[in-house]
């Protein structure tokens, strides 16, 4: 098992066939097995060199013994690696798919991946361009579909709900839609499926919202802008407004909501918040419009959002006429 030195029992396993058992794999039994293990070892050694790590340092970081790493790099890895490889082959998967932490592909996605694996580089480039056109073309950006982006505490829920009421539009919080669709709270999704699982739910729910609502106000999660597929969909189908605020305003609003954890659990929370804003500023700036909410004047912000929405709607109508 990874993380432990191979035991003498595993190291000496032979191909044994009895009426009540399947053959047991001997490490490196076939030439193909030996080639595969050597490739894995070469890849481990190459990546270790790329990161400038000694075998001892890699052992410390990974918790895997130096002896096992030496065996792995020499092409004599643990038999369990070959077992997984054969299970994957029997299921018509590659090893990466079998051991991936992400949810398995749907049948359609698996079929597409298999087709791509047989294509030449030029064919893959053409396929990518076609998929890009299909994904971005329909539906076209609709000024009546307004999406709010920004960090937690920017006012997306408060401002979005008030603006939706003023325009007589549905108000939708994307995170709440994810919880409704999955039957789980966000904390459960992250605990059970990780960030990758959450991102998949986020994209699916956003796609569903775009299909279901020609007109709506959508409040998104603060980190959506860091996920290219979801953010591109948002930009191509909605009038996107960045609700911008100072780090101090963000922190004060979060704590005013009763959440005292940021400062209690992390004395450097303000520095972290500033760093996040700095890292994401260029992404947030891709929005079609921006409103600075630092003044804390809610009605002023709502009025400004309504004005921007009206202007966007008039512009869209003009483009359609032309």
Which carries the bigger pLDDT value, residue 186 or residue 277? 186
221's tokens: 């999660």
> What is the predicted pLDDT for the residue at 307?
92
pLDDT at position 195 over 50: yes
Q: Which domains does the chain have, with CATH numbers?
A: 8-100 (1.10.260.40), 134-321 (3.40.50.300)
Dihedral in degrees, nearest 10, Cα atoms 98, 101, 107, 113: -80
**Exposure of 306 by Cβ count < 10 A (0-12 exposed, 13-18 middle, 19+ buried)?**
middle
Tell me the CB-side half-sphere exposure of residue 226, using CA atoms within 13 A: 15
Measured CA to CA, the distance from residue 233 to residue 206 in angstroms comes to 8
> What is the predicted pLDDT for the residue at 138?
43
Are the CB atoms for 1 and 78 separated by under 8 Å?
yes
**Exposure of 216 by Cβ count < 10 A (0-12 exposed, 13-18 middle, 19+ buried)?**
buried
Average pLDDT in the 209-236 region? 92
Average pLDDT in the 65-91 region? 77
Q: Residue 144 gets which letter from DSSP?
A: E
> What is the predicted pLDDT for the residue at 260?
45
118-173 residue pLDDT tens: 888 888 888 887 876 655 444 445 668 999 999 877 889 999 999 999 999 999 99
263-320 residue pLDDT tens: 445 556 677 778 888 888 889 999 999 998 877 688 999 999 999 988 887 765 543 3
| pTM score | 0.54
> What is the predicted pLDDT for the residue at 315?
65
- The mean of the pLDDT values for the chain is 77
Average pLDDT in the 47-76 region? 84
Average pLDDT in the 7-18 region? 32
Helix residue ranges per DSSP H, 28-168: 31-50, 55-62, 66-73, 79-90, 95-99, 107-117, 121-136, 156-167
pLDDT band at residue 67 under the 50/70/90 scheme: confident
> What is the predicted pLDDT for the residue at 218?
96
């Amino acid at each position: 098992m990874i993380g432990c030195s191979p035991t003498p029992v595993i190291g000496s396993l032979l191909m044994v066939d009895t009426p009540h058992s399947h053959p047991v794999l001997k490490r490196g039994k076939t030439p193909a097995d030996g080639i595969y293990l050597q490739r894995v070892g070469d890849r481990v050694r190459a990546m270790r060199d790329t990161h400038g790590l000694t075998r001892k340092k890699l052992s410390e970081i990974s918790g895997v013994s130096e002896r096992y790493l030496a065996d792995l790099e020499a092409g004599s890895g643990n038999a369990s690696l070959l077992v997984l490889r054969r299970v994957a082959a029997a299921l018509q998967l590659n090893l990466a798919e079998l051991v991936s932490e992400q949810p398995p592909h749907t049948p359609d996605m698996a079929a597409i991946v298999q087709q791509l694996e047989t294509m030449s580089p030029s064919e893959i480039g053409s396929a990518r361009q076609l998929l890009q056109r299909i994904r971005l073309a329909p539906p076209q950006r609709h000024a009546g579909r307004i999406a709010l982006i920004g960090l937690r505490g920017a006012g997306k829920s408060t401002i979005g709900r008030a603006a939706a009421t003023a325009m007589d539009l549905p108000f939708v919080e994307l995170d709440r839609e994810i919880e409704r669709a999955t039957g789980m709270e966000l904390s459960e999704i992250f605990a059970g499926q990780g960030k990758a699982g959450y991102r998949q739910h986020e994209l699916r729910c956003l796609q569903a919202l775009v299909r279901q609502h020609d007109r709506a106000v959508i409040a998104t999660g603060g980190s959506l802008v860091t996920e290219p597929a979801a953010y591109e969909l948002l930009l191509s189908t909605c009038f996107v407004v960045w609700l911008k605020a100072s780090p101090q305003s963000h922190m004060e609003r979060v704590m005013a909501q009763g959440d005292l954890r940021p400062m209690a659990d992390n004395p450097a929370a303000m520095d972290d918040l500033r760093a996040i804003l700095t890292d994401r500023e260029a992404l947030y700036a891709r929005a079609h419009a921006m409103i600075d909410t630092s003044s804390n004047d809610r009605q002023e912000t709502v009025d400004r959002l309504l004005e921007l929405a009206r202007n966007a709607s008039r512009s869209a109508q003009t483009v359609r006429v032309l």
